[in-house]
Structure 1
Amino acid sequence: MSTPSIETASTAERIIDADTLRQWLADDVELAVLDIRPSDEVGYASPLVATNLPADRLAAEIDRFVPRKLVRTVLVDGGEGLAKSLAVRLADTSRNEVYVLSGGIPEWSRNGTEDLPTFDIPGRDFSLDIRDERDTPSVSAAELKTLKDQGADVVVIDTRTLPEFTAGHVPGAVGVPGAELLLRFADVVPSPDTHVVVSCAGLPRAIIGTQTLIDSGVPNQVSYLHDGTRAWKEENLELETGATAVYAPVDHAAREVAAQRVETITANDKFPRIDVQTAQAWAADPDRTTYLLDVRTPEEIAQSHLPGSITSEGGQLLGVSHRTIAVRGARVVLIDDLTGARAAVVSHWLQQRDFEIALLLYDFEAGA
């Protein structure tokens, strides 16, 4: 009888079946699930709602997504078997807890996806639960067009990233990514009489943005645009392109108003406040994964940031947290300036998805 090669033996040990993954998704041990299919194939439709890290980027970027080498990590491919060889290669880099889902996505979803457990809560499902629980108000694209045609005092705030906003938005909208809403609202909407309509491409970020403003106590009427820019196009209305109107630097008065609204929305929230030294100690802990996520704008982060932190726009965390936080059960440190408006918004909603969160508010101007 021939002796199995080292690669064959080690590969076999790393293959798990769907039942094992189900058990792992239900336990309390840290777990990363990486969908290694091409991004254009995954889109928004991964039945696992797992972190998409395509195979050709896996070796170069896995340390950013799974900082600790000893975290159980499951690679899921398209059924072609690519994950097996990648798991062996990662083992050569001291990642000895990397496993492969047998059969990949096709095997996982063979009997349908309706009752399958997922790695993260889909952003759409989460936002719809918020809408149904809070009765979040909305307007249709046709209703918004009528308001604009009548010259009503209405402003549309688009809560997507600026590149998404630039690609196409409701004419006249202002680009303010979701986590920036409280910080910049007083500058963008100075009048309490203005009807504010919050938009995104579809529903999740618009619903969460609308409810954020309502929960923070803004005096304005606030609604979300049902189905966002998608609905606008379905009404045969044209989108505007370019960075036509985006947020500006926050003035002192707007920052003071934002601080008051942070107090309102976080009145019942309880998150530990930590300092830089504690954050660094947590990040270096060999027994626990900690993400240091800077939720400010990319421009601010480029000017100054804390060593070891990762840029992670807060609005994206609200809708698609799994794209950044690949390890379930990890600690999440949200880094913001001293006003803390972005961190307040993100933590307010992520706590409802069972994330363990701490806040690090830092004086970046003084630090710089």
Structure 2
Amino acid sequence: MTQPTQMNAEVSVAVLRQWLADGSEIALLDVREHGQYGSGHLFYAVNAPYSVLEHRVPYLVPRRTVRIVLYAQGGDIARQAQQLLQDIGYTQVYVLAGGVKAWQQAGHNVFAGVNVPSKTFGELVEQHCHTPHIKAEDLAASQAAAESLLLLDGRPFEEYQKKTIPGAICCPNGELALRATTLMRTANAARIVVNCAGRTRSIIGAQTLINLGVPYEVVALENGTQGWFLEGLVLEQGAMRDGEAVQPDNVDVGVLQQQAQRMAQEVGVKLVTAAQLQQWLAESHRTTYVCDVRTTAEYTRNTLRVAKHTPGGQLVQATDHYIGTRGARIVLWDDLHVRSWVTASWLLQMGWDVTVLERDAGALLGCVPGVATDDLVGFELPHMTVEQLAASVRHNAAQLIDIRPSQQYRAAHLRGAQWSIRPHLRYATLKTNQLVVVIASDPYSAALAAKELQSLGVQQVCWHHGTTAQWLAAGLVLENSPDQPADDDCIDYVFFAHDRHEGNRQAALQYLAWETNLLQQVDELELQYFKVYVAP
């Protein structure tokens, strides 16, 4: 039986590198805020910001006895996070001595951006498989010449709607294998072009269809919508073409099941029964994630009782958003047995211990309607309505702390509200004997901010969530502050990753240079788990 760690247990950089290479389960968590993480982090680190720590870690790291190593810039926030995780039952929690600074001082790289292992893998796939691509100017010329093309945007619908290539249909990468053939037949096209915002999902999406063996020419759009924008071409906004609404017929599904299974088994993916999965889930010494890789609509209607929702394309693109424990088992489920096999084929090449669950596993494991992840964790904090808030403001009866994302605060906030974030609440100007209203986007970050405020001596805290329209209708005064909080204080925001979507040419160039340079930054430790399969 594993013994609990001491209260302030630390590990050195050298020990952490040994642990990352030993093949046993480990959760390496960067507890800084998202913007700090995006400015430079360890390659295999998963972001679990201190602002939502107790909400996020149980989702990412479900087994309470797994090795966890926390780090921040130095030690203070990591030490506080260590105590909070021990308080909720985690028993093997260590802090990286010296944090990011010590890692760099030992001569090791840190990586800017997010989803770095997945992005690195995408670059490796292109390098090894020679994934064919088309440049933006050539695609524009083909469109102008009315060539027969099917443009598929491999991102989720919300991303697709913001900006896409004119005429593209939204078909997230996890759905391409299931739906591209039907879409191609309907379009009567000769060539498929897969795009995303940058590079990774274009490459993986196109290579998925090639590996599947579709009888069409398939290419990736080089540099995605960013490449299109940098060529001075106009992107489409608000598009509504939803490829997930297209249903393949039974004959197509039967063929696709065989192709997908062949594709996965070529790289070594195996099938697991529901009975075997039950045994795995009962083990206390291993972590097993059960992932429903279907669409949100399918998951919501009916899913396995033991599964969480991880759309297949996003699970490859942003594995660290869903899986926090390296070395864990991942079991994928899809009742059509197409998407699970395809997703597993990529995850195995990324170094994960992944299997595919038999189709009818629900008969033994039980099925329930799917629930959004945020609904699975309950924190209770009194909520103040917009009418109550307006009355409190009129009578100067409340102090307002706005913990919404910094860029939302800049765009519009209530007059008199201070912007802050959980690790910075200690610096807020507050009267501890007066009501504090936490303005937040969700109840979880609000409750954890309230917990922090109470530890600082604040006696009364409630939370409020409202829209700018509701605030104006209630007679509240709004302000904007384009430069406040200052850039250095926006520790929740990765500027170059987000600003590329706002017409910022320099940010787009910086983002693409970041992606293409990843392979020049990694070392043997960081590459050791990747094994890209190239068909003979």
Deviation per CA, 1:245-274, whole angstroms, max 9, x where unpaired? 111142324423422432442352443323
2:220 is the alignment partner of 1:230: no
Q: What is aligned with 2:393?
A: none
Question: What does 1:200-239 align with in structure 2 at a 5 Å threshold?
Answer: 200-239=196-235
Q: What is aligned with 1:304?
A: 302
Q: Give, in angstroms, the shift of residue 173 of structure 1.
A: 0.6
**What RMSD over aligned residues (CA atoms) do the two structures have, in Å?**
2.4
Query: Alignment partner for residue 127 of structure 1, among 116, 122, 125?
Result: 122
- Give the Cα–Cα distance (whole angstroms) in 2 for the partners of residues 32 and 270 of structure 1: 25
5+ residue gaps, structure 1:
1-8
- Give the Cα–Cα distance (whole angstroms) in 1 for the partners of residues 6 and 211 of structure 2: 53
Query: Alignment partner for residue 353 of structure 1, among 337, 350, 373?
Result: 350
- Give the Cα–Cα distance (whole angstroms) in 1 for the partners of residues 82 and 110 of structure 2: 28
Q: What is aligned with 1:3?
A: none
Query: Alignment partner for residue 191 of structure 2, among 188, 191, 195?
Result: 195
- Give the Cα–Cα distance (whole angstroms) in 1 for the partners of residues 177 and 318 of structure 2: 20
Give the counterpart letter for 1:319 in structure 2: Q
Percent identity, please: 33
Q: What is aligned with 2:55?
A: 60
Q: Does the 8 Å contact 2:183/2:246 carry over to 1?
A: no
Of 267-276 and 281-290, more deviation after overlay is shown by 267-276
Q: Does the 8 Å contact 2:27/2:66 carry over to 1?
A: yes
Of 65-74 and 79-88, more deviation after overlay is shown by 79-88
Query: Alignment partner for residue 318 of structure 2, among 307, 317, 320?
Result: 320
Q: What is aligned with 1:4?
A: none
Query: Alignment partner for residue 329 of structure 2, among 305, 328, 331?
Result: 331
Give the counterpart letter for 2:292 in structure 1: D
Give the counterpart letter for 1:342 in structure 2: R
Give the counterpart letter for 1:315 in structure 2: G
Deviation per CA, 1:285-315, whole angstroms, max 9, x where unpaired? 1111100111111111111111121111111
Q: Does the 8 Å contact 1:276/1:360 carry over to 2?
A: yes
Of 239-248 and 262-271, more deviation after overlay is shown by 262-271
Query: Alignment partner for residue 84 of structure 1, among 56, 62, 79?
Result: 79
Q: Does the 8 Å contact 2:137/2:231 carry over to 1?
A: yes
- Give the Cα–Cα distance (whole angstroms) in 1 for the partners of residues 53 and 217 of structure 2: 46
Q: What is aligned with 1:105?
A: 100
Q: Does the 8 Å contact 1:65/1:324 carry over to 2?
A: yes
Does the C-alpha gap of structure 1 residues 222 and 45 become closer, same or farther in structure 2, counting only changes over 3 Å?
Answer: farther
Does the C-alpha gap of structure 1 residues 44 and 146 become closer, same or farther in structure 2, counting only changes over 3 Å?
Answer: farther
Query: Alignment partner for residue 138 of structure 2, among 143, 153, 174?
Result: 143
5+ residue gaps, structure 2:
369-536
Q: Does the 8 Å contact 2:151/2:194 carry over to 1?
A: yes
- Give the Cα–Cα distance (whole angstroms) in 2 for the partners of residues 53 and 115 of structure 1: 17
Q: What is aligned with 1:265?
A: 263
SS in 2 for 1:48: coil
Q: Give, in angstroms, the shift of residue 40 of structure 1.
A: 3.1
SS in 1 for 2:62: coil
Give the counterpart letter for 2:64 in structure 1: K
SS in 2 for 1:109: helix
Q: What is aligned with 1:5?
A: none
Q: Does the 8 Å contact 1:11/1:85 carry over to 2?
A: no
Of 222-231 and 80-89, more deviation after overlay is shown by 80-89
Q: What is aligned with 1:280?
A: 278
Deviation per CA, 1:318-366, whole angstroms, max 9, x where unpaired? 12212222111111100111x3111111111111122111211334998
SS in 1 for 2:291: strand
Give the counterpart letter for 1:286 in structure 2: S
Q: What is aligned with 1:46?
A: 41
Q: How many residues are aligned here?
A: 355
Give the counterpart letter for 2:296 in structure 1: P
SS in 1 for 2:90: coil
- Give the Cα–Cα distance (whole angstroms) in 1 for the partners of residues 51 and 15 of structure 2: 26
Q: What is aligned with 1:240?
A: 236
Q: What is aligned with 2:341?
A: 344
Q: Does the 8 Å contact 1:81/1:103 carry over to 2?
A: no
Does the C-alpha gap of structure 1 residues 113 and 173 become closer, same or farther in structure 2, counting only changes over 3 Å?
Answer: farther
Question: TM-score, normalised on structure 2?
Answer: 0.62
Q: Does the 8 Å contact 1:162/1:243 carry over to 2?
A: no
Q: What is aligned with 2:438?
A: none
Larger Rg: 2
Give the counterpart letter for 1:251 in structure 2: P
Does the C-alpha gap of structure 1 residues 95 and 328 become closer, same or farther in structure 2, counting only changes over 3 Å?
Answer: same
- Give the Cα–Cα distance (whole angstroms) in 1 for the partners of residues 116 and 346 of structure 2: 12
- Give the Cα–Cα distance (whole angstroms) in 2 for the partners of residues 20 and 323 of structure 1: 25
- Give the Cα–Cα distance (whole angstroms) in 1 for the partners of residues 219 and 257 of structure 2: 23
Of 29-38 and 234-243, more deviation after overlay is shown by 234-243
